Amino acid sequence: MFLTQLVQAEALKTAIEHCRRRKFLCGGALYWSFNAPWPNACWETVDYYGRPKMGYYFAKRAFAPVLVSPLRRGDEIEVWVVNDELRMVRGVLKVSVVDVERGEVIGEREASISVEPNSSSLVARYKLRDLGVEDPEAVVLCFRLEHDGGESRNVLLLARHRDVRFSTTSLELEVVEARREGDDAIIEVEVGSERYARLAFIDVAEDYVAVASDNFFDLLPGERRRITLRVKKPGKTVTVIAAAYNAPTPVRRVVEL
């Protein structure tokens, strides 16, 4: 089930970003369909009960008003920034070269960029050899644009997902805050990883609907991210789970509400 959701998520991400990079040559992108009208296993990104699938979070990031979008053309990497806002966006583009077999960052690049309002711009080009990429099955490229309105992140695999040699890692999970908000619960957590974590996600063990501020994201070695989880109509306790594609042992924390 996890891998079928990954196929859908990557397909949506690839198509949406392609259309957005071609801004004004393409009038936009819509996908079918957002939510399920009845319980089923199909292309919806939100199931019948209101649980977001992996594709929901991939599409959410791909549709962000400011998007960093890398594209491989042969032995060259293009980095595009799509700016749907009606203001100039200025920021710093950070590229991390990660050896996922060793689980560590082996190179970094940084550049200041600016993007015109309501535009799509090619902001950088890199040769794979200049980034120190020798084995595409052992390396992924992570992109982070920190701009005056927030940040945009993206990841570029250089080989088929099944061929990339992700080493195993262990996750850390800390519950920062938990509170009631009407019938729901709001739980703030911090998740981190010892090594590179692929597709880290937060959920609850019980049969409640949980919606995260972000989910199915990658973590750099030693990185920690704060995530807000809204749990619909829970009982007195919930069990928060953190897991990842390459983290064989999920981490659990029982939260009293």
Neighbours of 102 (CB within 10 A): 14
Provide the pLDDT for residue 47: 96
Distance CA(208)–CA(220), nearest Å, equals 30
Say yes or no to pLDDT of 41 above 90.
Answer: no
Taking residues 72-98, report their average pLDDT.
98
CATH 3.10.20.340 fits 66-165, yes or no: no
Taking residues 96-109, report their average pLDDT.
96
Provide the pLDDT for residue 27: 86
Say yes or no to pLDDT of 224 above 90.
Answer: yes
Backbone angles phi, psi at 94, to 5 degrees: -115, 130
Domains 66-165 and 171-256 share a fold: yes
Q: In the structure, what pLDDT confidence band is assigned to residue 133 with cuts at 50, 70 and 90?
A: very high
The tens digit of pLDDT for each residue in 242-252 reads 999 999 999 99
**Contact yes or no for 245/199 (Cβ under 8 A):** yes
Distance CA(157)–CA(159), nearest Å, equals 6
Q: What is the identity of the amino acid at 191?
A: V
Say yes or no to pLDDT of 3 above 90.
Answer: yes
% of the chain exceeding 90 in pLDDT: 97
Give the CATH class of 171-256. mainly beta
- Write the CA distances from 116 to 27, 84, 111, 248, integer angstroms: 18, 9, 17, 44
Distance CA(121)–CA(162), nearest Å, equals 31
Residue 208, helix vs strand vs coil:
coil
Provide the pairing of β-strand 139-147 with 150-157: antiparallel
Distance CA(178)–CA(203), nearest Å, equals 14
Taking residues 57-69, report their average pLDDT.
98
- Write the CA distances from 39 to 47, 51, 73, 229, integer angstroms: 7, 11, 40, 23
Say yes or no to pLDDT of 72 above 90.
Answer: yes
Strands (E) across the chain are located at 66-73, 76-83, 89-99, 104-115, 119-127, 139-147, 150-157, 171-181, 184-193, 197-204, 210-212, 217-219, 224-231, 237-244, 247-256
pTM value is 0.97
Give the chain's mean pLDDT: 97
Tokens 């699938």 locate to 53
Q: In the structure, what pLDDT confidence band is assigned to residue 239 with cuts at 50, 70 and 90?
A: very high
Q: In the structure, what pLDDT confidence band is assigned to residue 125 with cuts at 50, 70 and 90?
A: very high
Provide the pLDDT for residue 253: 98
Domains in the chain: boundaries: 1-63, 66-165, 171-256
Say yes or no to pLDDT of 146 above 90.
Answer: yes
Provide the pLDDT for residue 112: 98
Segments in the chain forming alpha helices (H):
2-21, 54-62
Provide the pLDDT for residue 157: 98
- The DSSP 8-state label assigned to residue 214 in this structure reads S
Q: Tell me the β-bridge partners of 92.
A: 112, 146
Q: In the structure, what pLDDT confidence band is assigned to residue 28 with cuts at 50, 70 and 90?
A: confident
Provide the pLDDT for residue 62: 98
Residue 20, helix vs strand vs coil:
helix
Q: In the structure, what pLDDT confidence band is assigned to residue 10 with cuts at 50, 70 and 90?
A: very high
Taking residues 175-188, report their average pLDDT.
98
Q: In the structure, what pLDDT confidence band is assigned to residue 159 with cuts at 50, 70 and 90?
A: very high
Provide the pLDDT for residue 16: 98
- Write the CA distances from 81 to 12, 141, 149, integer angstroms: 18, 16, 14
